[in-house]
Amino acid sequence: MRLFRLFRILSTVVRFGLDEFLPSGVVRASFAVVFFWRSFSEPRGVRLRRALETLGPIFVKFGQLLSTRRDLIPLDLADELAKLQDAVPPFSSEEVVVILNRAYARPYREIFSAFDLKPVASASVAQVHFATLTAGAQAGRAAAVKIVRPGIEHIIAHDIALLDVVAVLVEAMFEDGKRLRPREVVVEFGKTLHDELDLIREAANASLLRRHFADGKLLYVPEVYWEYCHKEVMVMEQLDAIAVNDLEALKAHHIDVARLARQGVEIFFTQVFRDGFFHADMHPGNIFVLKSGIYTGVDFGIMGTLSDTDKNYLAQNFMAFFNRDYRAVALAHIDAGWVPRDTRIDEFESAIRTVCEPIFDKPLKDIFFGNVLLRLFEVSRRFRMEIQPQLMQLQKTLLQVEGLGRQLYPDLDLRPVAQPILKRWMSRQIGIRGLIRQLRVEAPLWAHTLPQLPRLLHRALHDDSPRRLEEALLKIETAQRTQTAVLRIIAGVLALMVAGYIYLLVFWEP
């Protein structure tokens, strides 16, 4: 089967003239000689997109991933690949019944009083049906049932293996191949796909996101019905909602689309900087609006996570961009270790300014900050910036959110929505507030460690082994030094707190 699949890929390469992407040399010349009669009127990006659509859903999803990696591929290809749609014909109702009966180990009609065997949505990994529950605590409730496509795991395994072969060839044949780390991109893609196959994992993602937005004022996340969930089947609350890009329906329900656009940006930045956990596939097919005007979402298979280091880097970059402080942008890259330490700051700053100044010399409503980040990654590539997969996910999501917001309200300005969120986050991370928060985190560890000193001394005095006695004494000495350091830190913190309190009394203006 793998040999047949490889042959199909090669024939597709020939059919759409993708040998054009090969570096000049013997191999490319051989293609030109053997297939000399071919001529193509379509641009290379269109041909690449059509080739991936021909090869099937896994290659479509890989093309979608590549469309976000503008640090890897030219912009004309990225723009065309962004048009790929993850929609495939549904699998049969007979297969649906088999999967449900296997998952529940009994006839599915005992679980659902009504089940529409015609799916409401079908994608490469799974499809969704509407149903009504008949058993358990949720009896009588309308539900959305997501079912994994049968046999998709084997298809993914074969296609990922072939993509890995292609990645090895890219590393060997292209001058910049190793720096682009194509095999790591394929590994990242394979991990994402396998995560999507486990619907228990997706249900857990949805449940966590629902807790983060528990008040439902900005975002309403459907409730997961855990007693009906299985690795191949996920059941959650069915919502009566409007597609976010259905402007006529939104206006018919008197929903303020300008407010909706601003809240979409607020939801994104809140997920990123408050929680470090964000929906990383926010295209219009996954985003809806309740008739009350509140956002809701589906498909939580792809979620992004950010460390405090990542969030700090992003916050500094956004704030620096908003203030057009390009030196701060350059320093943030170097401090994060994403460009080499020996990078000359003045050269890096100058390169960033050259790219960004023409962008900022426009009305604010015409500035797409997602595109600013893209241009930044282009500049960083010249300075040997290491590719950061988690930032690529975030960049893709920002482009989706900003594009969607501008579709709802063309005059959307990202800055006044994002800046207050960034300032709140930074105020919690630095200064007295950040120090107090860190002390609260570390206090339980100190409380556990310091009382152990007498026990360590007692154990050392009753130990017959000189070597172990020496080790124990060393531990005691280290612990004593730690205790002294901790006491000094506590004294310093108390002094800072007193100074901060005095400062607030004198200068605070409510």
Give the catalytic positions in this structure.
281
pLDDT tens for each residue of 166-209:
777 777 766 666 666 777 778 877 888 888 889 999 999 999 99
Rounded Cα–Cα distance for residues 105 and 384 (Å): 54
Q: What are phi and psi of 94, to 5 degrees?
A: -60, -40
Token look-up 């000359």 returns 344
Within 10 angstroms of residue 403's Cβ, the number of other Cβ atoms is 17
| 130 contacts 143 by C-beta, under 8 angstroms | yes
Mean pLDDT of the chain: 77
Break the chain into its structural domains and give their ranges. Answer: 1-86, 87-238, 304-428, 432-507
pLDDT of residue 269: 87
pLDDT of residue 28: 47
Percent of the chain with pLDDT over 70: 69
pLDDT tens for each residue of 354-367:
877 777 666 556 66
Q: Which of 98-112, 134-148, 151-165 has the lowest mean pLDDT?
A: 151-165
Q: Which tokens is 309 given?
A: 């280091």
pLDDT tens for each residue of 163-175:
887 777 777 766 6
| 138 contacts 126 by C-beta, under 8 angstroms | no
**β-bridge pairing 295-297 and 219-220:** parallel
pLDDT of residue 460: 57
Confidence of residue 395 (pLDDT cuts 50, 70, 90): confident
pLDDT of residue 103: 94
Residue 133 bridge partners (DSSP) = 112
Rounded Cα–Cα distance for residues 324 and 110 (Å): 62
Strand segments (E) across 333-408? none
Task: Name which of 183, 188, 193 is nearest 163 in CA terms.
Answer: 183
User: For the chain, how many residues are written?
Assistant: 510
Task: Name which of 482, 456, 486, 483 is nearest 471 in CA terms.
Answer: 456
- Scanning 383-465, the segments in alpha helix (DSSP H) are 389-408, 414-429, 431-449, 453-461
Confidence of residue 34 (pLDDT cuts 50, 70, 90): very low
Within 10 angstroms of residue 199's Cβ, the number of other Cβ atoms is 23
pLDDT tens for each residue of 272-323:
888 889 998 887 778 999 999 999 999 998 888 888 877 887 788 778 877 8
Q: Using alpha carbons only, what angle is made at residue 108 by residues 105 and 110, rounded to the nearest 5 degrees? A: 95
Rounded Cα–Cα distance for residues 292 and 295 (Å): 9
Alpha-carbon distances, residue 47 vs 22, 31, 35, 40, 281 (angstroms): 15, 17, 16, 9, 25
Residue 406 in this model has a pLDDT that exceeds 70: yes
Cα 188 to chain center, whole Å? 12
- Give the residue with greater pLDDT, 438 vs 229: 229
pLDDT of residue 31: 47
pLDDT of residue 67: 74
Residue 23 in this model has a pLDDT that exceeds 60: no
pLDDT tens for each residue of 254-263:
999 989 988 9
| 296 contacts 289 by C-beta, under 8 angstroms | yes
